[in-house]
């Protein structure tokens, strides 16, 4: 009986961790290769936009351990994927595996936000609102706290994602 409750407790903890962070036990294994095709600069340029993060967002989002505030105040770039009601489910595995490669893991932190409902609330001009508005329906974003900008990838394709991470590594 104790063993059953222990196993059930461990499963519930793992499910909670997955829902909150997007991490799963498979993340402990070496990254799988993601098959990608070459993307030209013109193709990538057409699918990426840069957005400045306004000062009012910094004022409305205090520095805290919140997972929504962390990308603003980090010491390195953060790659963000928002899986809103399963809209980016197909990109979760390529996103994780691309960011677990040595060249990307040294440059990017990884945040996965799992949004279940169709309506999300956030404080006015907060970073959470900024992410939902700018990255919520897109493939991925890279937040650079040094330049106070977000690079937004609109094309939901692992090939574009790989080229996106490569291009913004030294940004």
Residue 120 has pLDDT above 80, yes or no: no
Residue 122 pLDDT: 61
The residue to which tokens 């279940």 are assigned: 116
Q: What is the DSSP string of 109-156?
A: EEEEEEE-SS-----TT-HHHHHHHHHTTSSEEEEETTTTEEEEE---
Segment among 16-25, 69-78, 95-104, 136-145 with least mean pLDDT: 16-25
Residue 124 has pLDDT above 80, yes or no: no
Percentage, residues of the chain above pLDDT 70: 88
Segment among 7-16, 27-36, 117-126 with least mean pLDDT: 117-126
* Range 122-138 average pLDDT: 84
* Range 88-110 average pLDDT: 91
Local confidence band at 114 (pLDDT 50, 70, 90 cut-offs): confident
Local confidence band at 18 (pLDDT 50, 70, 90 cut-offs): low
* Range 120-146 average pLDDT: 86
Residue 87 pLDDT: 84
Residue 123 pLDDT: 64
Backbone angles phi, psi at 158, to 5 degrees: -60, -30
**CA dist., res. 144 & res. 108, Å (int):** 10
Local confidence band at 54 (pLDDT 50, 70, 90 cut-offs): very high
Give Cβ neighbours of residue 139 (< 8 Å, ≥ 6 apart). Answer: 81, 88, 91, 153, 154, 155, 156, 157, 160, 161
């Amino acid at each position: 009986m104790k063993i059953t409750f222990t196993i059930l407790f461990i499963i519930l903890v793992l499910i909670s961790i997955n829902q909150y962070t997007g991490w799963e036990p498979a993340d402990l294994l070496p990254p799988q290769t993601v098959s990608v095709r070459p993307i030209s600069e013109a193709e990538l340029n057409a699918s990426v936009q840069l957005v400045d993060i306004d000062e009012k967002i910094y004022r409305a989002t205090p520095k805290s351990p919140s997972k929504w505030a962390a990308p603003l105040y980090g010491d390195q770039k953060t790659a963000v994927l928002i899986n809103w009601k399963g809209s980016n489910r197909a990109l979760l595995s390529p996103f994780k595996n691309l960011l677990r490669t040595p060249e990307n893991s040294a440059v990017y932190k990884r945040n996965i936000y799992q949004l279940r409902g169709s309506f999300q609330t956030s404080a006015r001009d907060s970073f959470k609102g900024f992410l939902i508005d700018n990255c919520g329906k897109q493939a991925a974003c890279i937040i650079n706290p040094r330049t106070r900008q977000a690079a937004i990838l609109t094309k939901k394709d692992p090939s574009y994602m790989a080229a996106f991470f490569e291009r913004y590594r030294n940004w």
